[in-house]
Structure 1
Amino acid sequence: MEWPVKNSHLPISPNYGRSDAGLHPVPEPTLEVVAGDRVVYDEGKEVVSSPGAGESTIVSPSSPSDLTSATTPGQTQIKPFDGHYDGRHHYHHHGMEDDGKIVVTNSNNDKQPWYRKPVFLAGLIVLAVVIILAAVLGGVFGSRSRNNSSSPNSSSGSTTTTTASAAPSSTPTSIAANSPMGVSGWKNGDDNNLYVAYQAADNSLRYSKATASGSQTDFTWGDPKTLKPESTLGKNAGMTMSVSVDQSNDANSQIQLSLLYINSTSYINGLTYVTGGQAEANGFTTSDINQQKFKVAENSTLSAYWPFMLYQNTSGVVHALWYESETPYVPYSLSATAASKSNLAVVPVSRNVTKISGKGFWAIFYQNQSGKIMASPDPAFWDEKRADDLVTIVSTWNSTFPDITLPIGSSFTAFSLARGDNDKVNTFLLYQDGSDIKQAWINNDNGWQISSPKLLQGADRGTHIGCVTPAVWKSDRTFSEKLLAEESDISKCYFQKGGKLIEVRLEGKDWVDSKEISIP
């Protein structure tokens, strides 16, 4: 089954119909074309809009102080992310007689029958040798091909289909070798969902969905579905997913899934799926972000956790889109310069969505120019606005985060889970070191630790890793407030091993229930 992608204005852009008075963040791109009310951006400089000034000011991102917005004389400078949350979200003969017998002639002359001539016998011997050699060489090269399927430069040659068998298949899967992945999930009463998006061997964009109801703990994976986005994906390009609550024209708000990826021309593209109500029948629709023309670094990756989405601009600086602002498609420069090809990760460091969205309780991970993984809680960097509990988090992370230095471009990801009935969270960083995936984690107030879980060993070199951080949202006309969930049956991560997609589930600080997700 294929989802047609329709050009649609659903979902509505975030914060439709509201105004965040005084919130005027500093956008990263420079103004390139202005046509009517449409602005096309390019990278390089930042456009700063002054409230009531009637014009734009150009500044260069040179220091953390440049993160403030330009103001008219006498105004107080406004810093990005300094806002509030109101719950509005949007996003492949021999000659035969009729009886089938070979004709054998017999004559009285002295000629040998054709099948006893030395030349013929020699030919048979040669033919037999050729067949044997072909079989042997075929086995050798076939084995090498299978063994190489886990290398970053290899890809599956299987035929892409849109169906999945219920049991694991011994044939190669259609997922591309070291495919990028977008992973997301949520628990809402008896409604439990997991989504994994990936790139197929034919470069198409596909996703699989798993559901479980009530007390059921075993998720049932549906048939993979192929999407037809507006633009093709870049090869092994960045991809991410996030979950929010859509404020559309339905009587009830709906849970919405956002799938973002980098297309073949290095622009951010997206698809959105409103999972209920009138809009559900539309399937995945083209996101408004396609019209914004966000150009990213050639090797940029993506990471998202609502309301944030990270990417690298062409200068290597990590940028964030913040969907809770009045200008949700204006990027903010963070004080983080990542190495080219660095992976990115964003996680919450509180279970409360208000703190996550507007008070600095979020963190990012990236590699610096030396290959060291950097962990940065409150990446907007406002010491004077930090609450005491955030100050403690920042201090603990800065003093205890381990020195993890890897080849630049090594795979890693991160996720968070609630620690209990307080606002504290447990955060896990999974990273590939050789063929094994290791983890660093913090689940108490004493600091970070490192381990090498058995079920994370033997992954394909260069595999992408995707993990689920449960969705959060604020109460609205339909939903009660959703706090970050504790460890549960959706606490899962995904990676490739032997070319296949593997799922594991977190239990404490270890991993259990390793299984193959069948993608024929």
Structure 2
Amino acid sequence: MDPRHYNEATTQPGLEVHLSPGLEVVPGEHTQYGHHFPETREGANYDGKEIAASTIVYPDPYGSPQPPLYELPASEQPARRRRLWLVGGAVAAILIIIGAVLGGVLGSRAAGSSSGESAVSQSGGGANPTSTPSDNGTGNTSPSNTTTTRPESIRQGSALSVTGWRRSDGGAEMHLFYQDPQDGLRYSRCDTSRSIEGSDSCWEAPISFHSFAKPDTRLGASTLIFGDLYQPQTQLFYIGGRTRLMGTNFNSQYTPPYSEDSINDVQVFTGLNSSVTAYWPWAIYQDSTGELLHVRNQLLRNWSPTTTWDVNRINITAITASRLAIVPMSANFSRMAVKGGYAIFYQAPDETLAVSITDLDSPELDPDYPLSWQTELPTITLPIAGPFSAFSVARPSDPLQRVDTYVLYLDAEANINVLYTDSSSVSANSPAEWETIQPEVLQGVDRDTDIACLTLASSDRSAAGNPVLLEPASDENRCYFQRAGQVVEVRLDGQEWVEVGSVPMP
């Protein structure tokens, strides 16, 4: 067994889910994706922590008689359905409808008799397209003659997550995920090698799909590439009802092109307002105590996916509802998918931006582990639960296959700043140093915006059987945020940030 792995699988088991105390497993049915589990069996130990698995079968695969790790607020407690309440509710509904009809009639007459009055549109909810000042959401309420129509496909302040990969023809394919005003999840797809007819944009119309997402869920997307079967497969993690960690797979080789992920069969409860971030084979979330945990696919020795998952605590405590951002720490998948392979950015209890590389002190860490950059960041105080995102790129011509990393974070003035590593200013064998800038195209964004940045997928084996290394900086290093409700796309062009435009959404 390779000691760098957490719990290495040596065969392809039906199921072997490793969980921290208090977590449960619900077996499901096997699907063509090989990610749904037909059976369960006990797991092993990790870092001295007891890991337990349950084989209890529940009739409803998305419900559980067991409570989450905290008490639900009164607003989320199950309602007692009594006949009297139903009758009262029906009567009230009838009265409301009658009132609405009368109000509409009287309102239309009043509008018709006053040609000098103008309609005042509502803003902030994002449910309907409205004309709003161009600086809406930035905190500046001064009047403006410029108006922007808010899209209906995305809610104001929606979570954002993006993932993508480089295709063999040289183009890149990206999926941008978000939540609509009705709590449904959607994605927009971009093929950078072509433009949509009648437009100079590569982004297709939004596509909705079935999910169990809770309102204002956080999102974490990643891409699995391995040979022909997973060439490629997009994974989306989100928070469902009762704060269950849920997921959906997307693979164009199958019909239908999406399927529920196997994480839906593993009863993992997150914190009430937990974020989730992902980069294959990892996903990270926060529990109700503020601790961070990672979910890792238990890859085989040849790095192929399995139907096995580990869930482990990583000895990090963040501020409640901290945003999270994961980045790979090597351009080579075989170094990234093991201990020390990723870094996690989070908001510390003192409200500052922090980062940790897991298992740097582990005796099982690769003795030749190359540290890309120092984990001591400049002191950056974020708004509580303030948004940030991060991405990594390969250092050019680096034989150690280290990375440079960029972090985009929102400050109290509704401007996005960039924290990045500058490896050009240090010697070849030294970790990079951190620098900060505030690009003009990242200023004046919506105060409730999320931020999503793209790290292209890496893999040990493409469809042609070759390693897929993380690329140096390119035009595909893009980030997304909301300004006046629109999703704005920016890209890194050398050392400059350039605004590409808005992702088209109805």
Q: TM-score, normalised by structure 1?
A: 0.69
Whether the aligned pair in 1 keeps the contact of 2:150 and 2:486 (CA below 8 Å) is yes
Please name the residue that 1:199 is paired with: 179
* Alignment correspondent of 1:222: 204
SS at match of 1:501: strand
Question: 3-state SS of the aligned residue for 2:336?
Answer: helix
Equivalent in the alignment of 2:363: 384
Residues 455 and 514, structure 1, Cα contact 8 Å, conserved in 2? no
Deviates more, 1:175-184 or 1:444-453: 444-453
Shift of 1:325: 4.3
Q: Is the 8 A contact 2:387 2:409 kept in 1?
A: yes
- 1:267 paired to 2:250: no
C-alpha deviation, 1:235, in angstroms: 1.3
Once the two structures are superposed, what CA deviation does each residue of 1:244-269 show, in whole Å capped at 9, x if it has no partner? 1256xxx7552111111111321111
CA offsets 1:336-371 (integer angstroms, 9 cap, x no match) = 011111001110121000110124131011111111
The answer on whether the counterparts of 1:425 and 1:443 sit within 8 Å (CA) in structure 2 is no
Q: Displacement, 1:388?
A: 6.3
Q: How far apart, in 1, do the equivalents of 2:26 and 2:492 lie?
A: 50
Contact 1:492 1:503 in 2 (8 A): yes
Q: Say whether residues 1:156 and 2:124 are aligned partners.
A: no
**1:93-492 maps to which residues of 2 (within 5 A)?**
131=114, 135-136=117-118, 138=119, 141-142=120-121, 145-146=122-123, 149=124, 154-158=125-129, 170-174=148-152, 175-190=154-169, 191-213=171-193, 220-229=202-211, 231=212, 233-245=213-225, 253-276=230-253, 279=254, 281-325=255-299, 328-377=308-357, 379-387=358-366, 390=369, 392-393=371-372, 396-399=373-376, 401-422=377-398, 423-434=401-412, 435-444=414-423, 445=426, 446-475=432-461, 478-492=464-478
For residue 212 of structure 1, report the CA deviation from its aligned partner. Answer: 2.6
Q: Match for 1:376: what amino acid?
A: S
Change (3 A) 1:323 1:127: closer
- Structure 2 unmatched ranges of 5 or more: 1-6, 29-37, 53-108, 131-146, 301-306, 427-431
**How far is 1:173 from its partner?**
0.2
In structure 2, do the counterparts of structure 1 residues 517 and 384 end up closer, same or farther at CA, with 3 Å as the change threshold? same
Distance 1:234 1:291, change over 3 A: same
Task: Please give the secondary structure, in 2, of the residue aligned with 1:455.
Answer: helix
Change (3 A) 1:198 1:33: closer
CA contact (8 A) 1:361 1:390 kept: no
Relative distance call for 1:442 and 1:128 in structure 2 (3 A) is closer
Work out whether residues 23 and 269 of structure 2, in 8 Å CA contact, stay in contact via their aligned partners in 1: no
Normalized per residue, the structure richer in helix is: 1
For structure 1, the residue ranges without an aligned partner over 5 or more in a row are 1-13, 41-46, 51-63, 71-125, 160-168
Give the Cα separation in 1 of the matches to 2:501 and 2:462.
37
- CA shift, 1:67, in A, is 5.5
Rounded Cα–Cα distance in structure 2 between residues aligned with 1:170 and 1:514: 17
Determine the C-alpha separation between the residues in 2 that align with 1:353 and 1:227.
30
With normalisation by structure 2, the TM-score equals 0.71
| C-alpha separation in 1, matches of 2:368 and 2:296 | 23
CA distance in 1, matches of 2:274, 2:208: 24
Larger radius of gyration: 1
Once structures 1 and 2 are overlaid, which stretch shifts more, 218-227 or 281-290? 218-227
SS of the residue aligned with 2:248? strand
**In structure 1, distance between residues paired with 2:409 and 2:291:** 22
Counterpart residue identity of residue 49, structure 1: A
The total of aligned residue pairs comes to 396
Q: Which amino acid aligns with 1:157?
A: N
Q: Percent identity?
A: 28
Contact 1:158/1:201 (<8 A) preserved: no
